[in-house]
Amino acid sequence: MLTEWAGQVGREDERGRGLVAPHWSKEWEWKPGGMAAQAGGGGEGEARGGKEHKDCILEPLSLPENPGGISAVEGSPSVTCLFCEECSPVSEQNQLLKHMIIEHKLVIADIKLVADFKRYMQYWKKRFAEQPTTDFCPVIKTNSEAPLEDQDSYFLLCDALPEDRELREKLQQQRLREILEQQQQERYDKDFHGICMFCDKEYTGNRSILLNHMAKDHAFNIGLPDNIVNCKEFLDLLQKKLDSLQCLYCEKIFRDKNTLKDHMRKKQHRRINAKNREYDRFYIINYLGSKERRRKAGHL
Ligand SMILES: [Zn+2]
Ligand SMILES: [Zn+2]
Ligand SMILES: [Zn+2]
């Protein structure tokens, strides 16, 4: 994993060259040894841009009851950098990740696996304000074969750190809990209202009535109702694709509605493209941990 990761840094580093200098001064060298070695390390205060933190006191690492409980900023649609006030919309997290690599030399490993990016960032922003980065992150050197001036060091925040692993697990469980609650609510909801994408018939009642109709009468099957979550949003997304004259299966665009309809019927394209990752979030199975998921899929 480490080599793969180092490769990523190399690429980001290439892109980052010539941009604004990092906040951290060159003089601040990272010493090996992690927390203990860093406990008395003076100078980080200034190096971290004057952010105050306790110098020598290492408190026991403890997770708050609810890592996502920073509810004051819960409603805000953007995420803030762990080290400065740079922020970016949740939907553009890559921009912020790139910013942290270039400006602060921090790489977060396997960020795609983090269930809730915003809460994850909120948690670590708070912790990084309390303790030096080196307490949490090993330092990875790149270009170690190259002359000294071409070498670079990066912090790695990853789940090898028990606190990070615990946070990731809690976020995962929290998201699963939320999604199961949503699914439960949809399962018993009798006020669902939707229109069939193929014959424009209106359906009111439980979502399964419409899904079953589309499966039975139009051979359009997106899965068992109970395996689906946020069904309304899912159907709206599919409807939007059809409205923009796109085939749901091959995703080609057609010139008018009738041509598209004929195409989907004749080619048996009345199904969704299973490779389209956009749909993943509508299936409960994708919220289970990878182990559980594989077990469910019969791979374990
Ligand atoms: Zn920043
Ligand atoms: Zn219909
Ligand atoms: Zn098609």
Q: Which of 26-40, 64-78, 134-148 has the lowest mean pLDDT?
A: 26-40
Contact predicate 271/159, CB 8 Å: no
- CA 40/CA 186 separation, integer angstroms: 55
pLDDT band, very low/low/confident/very high, at 291 (cuts 50, 70, 90):
low
What residue spans of the chain are helical by DSSP H? 2-16, 34-38, 44-47, 93-104, 117-130, 162-188, 207-218, 231-243, 257-266, 290-296
Residue 41 lies in a domain: yes
Q: In angstroms, what is the span from residue 82 Cα to ligand 1's centroid?
A: 6
DSSP string, 216-280: HHH------GGGBSSHHHHHHHHHHHHHTTB-TTT--B-SSHHHHHHHHHHTT--S--TT-GGGG
Residue 227 lies in a domain: yes
In terms of domains, do 12 and 138 share one?
Answer: yes
Q: Ligand nearest 49 Cα, by number?
A: 1
In terms of domains, do 282 and 256 share one?
Answer: yes
State whether the Cα torsion 103-123-141-58 is positive or negative: positive
In terms of domains, do 166 and 199 share one?
Answer: no
Residue 128 lies in a domain: yes
In terms of domains, do 168 and 54 share one?
Answer: yes
Q: Ligand nearest 249 Cα, by number?
A: 3
- CA 298/CA 48 separation, integer angstroms: 49
Q: In angstroms, what is the span from residue 264 Cα to ligand 2's centroid?
A: 14
Residue 103 has pLDDT above 60, yes or no: yes
Check residues 61 and 86 and name the one with the higher pLDDT: 86
Q: Ligand nearest 260 Cα, by number?
A: 3
Residue 58 lies in a domain: yes
Residue 56 lies in a domain: yes
In terms of domains, do 111 and 255 share one?
Answer: no
- CA 211/CA 215 separation, integer angstroms: 6
Give the domain-ending residue among 115, 147, 173: 173
Q: What is the pTM of this model?
A: 0.63
Q: In angstroms, what is the span from residue 198 Cα to ligand 1's centroid?
A: 49
Residue 172 has pLDDT above 70, yes or no: yes
pLDDT band, very low/low/confident/very high, at 148 (cuts 50, 70, 90):
confident
**3 state SS of 94:** helix
Query: And the tokens for 178?
Result: 């939320």
Task: Give residue 247's pLDDT.
Answer: 97
Q: What percent of the chain has pLDDT over 90?
A: 62
Residue 111 lies in a domain: yes
pLDDT band, very low/low/confident/very high, at 68 (cuts 50, 70, 90):
very low
Give the domain-ending residue among 173, 206, 223: 173
Task: Give residue 297's pLDDT.
Answer: 55
When pLDDT is averaged across residues 193-221 and rounded to a whole number, the result is 93
Task: Give residue 267's pLDDT.
Answer: 94
Give the domain-ending residue among 173, 204, 221: 173
User: Model confidence over 245-265: pLDDT tens digits?
Assistant: 999 999 999 999 999 999 999
Task: Give residue 16's pLDDT.
Answer: 35
In terms of domains, do 58 and 154 share one?
Answer: yes
Q: Which of 59-68, 114-123, 236-245 has the lowest mean pLDDT?
A: 59-68
In terms of domains, do 155 and 14 share one?
Answer: yes
Q: Which own/partner pairs from 83-88 qualify as long-range (CB within 8 Å, at least 24 positions apart)?
A: 83/23, 83/48, 83/49, 83/128, 84/23, 84/49
Residue 178 lies in a domain: no
Phi, psi of 135 (to 5 degrees): -70, -25
In terms of domains, do 136 and 211 share one?
Answer: no
When pLDDT is averaged across residues 106-115 and rounded to a whole number, the result is 92
- Mean pLDDT for all residues in the chain: 77
Q: Do strands 152-157 and 106-108 pair parallel, antiparallel, or not at all (unpaired)? A: parallel
Residue 67 has pLDDT above 70, yes or no: no
Indicate the Cα dihedral angle 46, 47, 48, 53, nearest 10°: -50
**Count: domains in the chain:** 2
Task: Give residue 137's pLDDT.
Answer: 94
Check residues 190 and 15 and name the one with the higher pLDDT: 190
pLDDT band, very low/low/confident/very high, at 161 (cuts 50, 70, 90):
very high
In terms of domains, do 119 and 232 share one?
Answer: no
Q: Do strands 87-89 and 78-80 pair parallel, antiparallel, or not at all (unpaired)? A: antiparallel
In terms of domains, do 159 and 230 share one?
Answer: no
- CA 89/CA 85 separation, integer angstroms: 13
In terms of domains, do 16 and 152 share one?
Answer: yes
When pLDDT is averaged across residues 274-278 and rounded to a whole number, the result is 92
Q: In angstroms, what is the span from residue 196 Cα to ligand 2's centroid?
A: 5
Phi, psi of 97 (to 5 degrees): -65, -40
Range of the domain at 123: 2-173
In terms of domains, do 158 and 226 share one?
Answer: no
Q: Ligand nearest 242 Cα, by number?
A: 3
Other residues' Cβ atoms within 10 Å of the Cβ of residue 148:
6
